[in-house]
C-alpha cells in the first residue's frame, strides 16, 4: 500500500512539473546579427533580463521586389548574418541554456517591404522558388543539426505566400522531413488572419505591430484597453486553427506617437519619448502575456554588443539603456 502511495505521489509531481514546463511562456529577444562572434558578455545581457529564448536571424539579400535571386552566405555579409555566424551564436546561447528560434530573413535593397515581393511570370516565380528553397533549407539543416527548438520558414512574405500556396506546402513538407522541432511563419500583423498555412505549422507567428494608440504619450492603462479588439481577433484565429499565437516580433520605438504605426522605422519620426515606449510595452505585457492562447514572443530588437551609453538618447526599437528595459526585466521575471 505504501509503495502504491509513493508511486502516486511521484506521478503527481511529474504531472505538475510537466504542466508547469509546458505553460512557461517564451520570453524572447531578437538578436541582431553583428560583424563579430557572439561572446559570453553578449549572452550575459540576455540572461540579465530573464529571457529564456533568442531569435537568431541570418539574412539573404535580393536586389529588387521583382528579382528572384537570393544571395546569402557571402564574404560581403556580416559574420552573424551567415550560416557559420548563426551556428556560433546558437552554440553560445545553448551553452547558457537559452533556447533558440532560427529565423532566416530576406532584405530587399533600400529596405523595400518584403510583403510586396512578387514575380512577373511563371518562369521567374520558379526561379524564386528554387532560390528560396535553397536559402531556407540551408538553415533548416542547421536548425536540425543544432537541435533548435523553433524554426521560422519565412518572414512577412504575403504576396509570395498568397501567389504560390503549393510551393509553401511542399516546402513545409520537405522541412519536416529533415527537421524535428516546431515550425512557424512570421506574418505581419495585418496578414496573419488571411493565411491558410497555419494548419501545417505549430505556432501562428505574428509580427505584432498592431496600431494601439494615436496619443503622443499614451498611458499604460489606456493602451491596454486598446488591445481588446486585437485580442479577440487573435483568439478567434487561434481557436480556428487550434494553434497558439506566437509574437515572432513585438516592440515599440522610444519616439512620440510610437503606438500609432508601430511598424515604422523611418527617420521622419522624431521626438525621443522613453515614457511612450515604456507604457506601450507594459500595456502589451499586461494585455496578452498571460492569455491561454498566447505562447510568448520575441522583443524587437536586441544588440549583443551593446555599450553602456548606446541608444540612451535614440528613437529606435531597442529598450537597452532605456527605462523600458525595467519593464522587460519585470515581466520576463514573472513568467520564468
- Write out the chain's pLDDT in tens, 336 residues: 444 444 343 444 343 344 444 468 999 999 999 999 999 999 999 999 999 999 999 999 999 999 999 999 999 999 999 999 999 999 999 999 999 999 999 999 989 999 999 999 999 999 999 999 999 999 999 999 999 999 999 999 999 999 999 999 999 999 999 999 999 999 999 999 999 999 999 999 999 999 999 999 999 999 999 999 999 999 999 999 999 999 999 999 999 999 999 999 888 888 999 999 999 999 999 999 999 999 999 999 999 987 655 656 789 999 999 999 999 999 999 977
The whole-angstrom separation of Cα 225 and Cα 108 is 36
Q: Could you give the angle at the alpha carbon of 319 between the alpha carbons of 316 and 324, nearest 5°?
A: 120
Q: Is 98 helix (H, G, I), strand (E, B) or coil?
A: coil
Q: Which structural domains are found in the chain, ordered by start? A: 27-334 (3.20.20.80)
In angstroms, the CA 57 to CA 101 distance is 9
Query: The C-alpha cell of 21 is what?
Result: 514546463
Q: Is the separation of the CB atoms in 270 and 255 below 8 Å?
A: yes
Maximum Cα–Cα distance across the chain: 74
Q: What is the 8-class DSSP label of residue 33? A: P
| The pLDDT of residue 267 | 81
Amino acid at each position: 500500500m505504501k509503495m502504491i502511495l509513493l508511486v502516486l505521489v511521484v506521478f503527481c509531481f511529474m504531472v505538475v512539473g510537466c504542466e508547469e514546463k509546458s505553460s512557461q511562456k517564451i520570453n524572447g529577444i531578437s538578436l541582431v546579427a553583428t560583424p563579430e562572434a557572439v561572446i559570453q558578455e553578449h549572452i550575459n545581457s540576455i540572461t540579465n533580463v530573464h529571457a529564456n529564448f533568442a531569435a537568431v536571424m541570418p539574412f539573404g539579400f535580393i536586389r529588387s521586389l521583382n528579382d528572384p535571386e537570393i544571395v546569402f552566405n557571402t564574404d560581403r555579409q556580416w559574420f552573424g548574418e551567415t550560416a557559420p555566424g548563426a551556428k556560433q551564436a546558437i552554440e553560445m546561447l545553448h551553452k547558457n541554456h537559452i533556447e533558440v528560434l532560427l529565423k532566416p530573413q530576406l532584405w530587399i535593397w533600400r529596405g523595400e517591404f518584403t510583403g510586396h515581393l512578387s514575380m512577373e511570370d511563371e518562369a521567374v516565380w520558379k526561379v524564386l522558388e528554387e532560390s528560396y528553397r535553397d536559402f531556407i533549407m540551408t538553415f533548416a539543416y542547421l536548425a536540425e543539426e543544432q537541435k533548435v527548438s523553433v524554426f521560422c520558414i519565412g518572414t512577412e512574405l504575403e504576396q509570395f505566400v498568397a501567389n504560390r500556396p503549393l510551393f509553401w506546402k511542399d516546402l513545409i513538407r520537405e522541412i519536416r522531413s529533415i527537421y524535428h522541432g516546431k515550425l512557424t511563419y512570421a506574418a505581419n500583423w495585418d496578414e496573419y488572419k488571411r493565411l491558410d498555412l497555419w494548419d501545417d505549422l505549430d505556432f501562428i507567428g505574428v509580427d505584432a505591430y498592431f496600431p494601439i494608440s494615436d496619443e503622443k504619450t499614451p498611458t499604460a492603462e489606456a493602451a491596454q484597453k486598446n488591445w481588446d479588439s486585437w485580442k479577440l481577433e487573435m483568439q478567434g484565429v487561434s481557436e480556428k486553427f487550434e494553434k497558439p499565437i506566437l509574437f515572432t516580433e513585438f516592440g515599440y520605438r522610444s519616439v512620440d506617437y510610437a503606438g500609432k504605426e508601430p511598424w515604422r522605422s523611418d527617420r521622419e519620426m522624431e521626438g525621443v519619448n522613453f515614457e511612450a515606449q515604456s507604457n506601450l510595452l507594459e500595456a502589451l505585457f499586461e494585455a496578452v502575456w498571460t492569455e491561454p492562447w498566447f505562447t510568448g514572443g520575441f522583443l524587437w530588437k536586441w544588440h549583443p554588443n551593446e555599450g553602456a551609453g548606446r541608444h540612451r538618447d535614440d528613437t529606435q526599437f531597442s529598450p537597452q539603456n532605456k527605462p523600458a528595459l525595467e519593464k522587460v526585466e519585470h515581466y520576463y521575471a514573472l513568467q520564468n
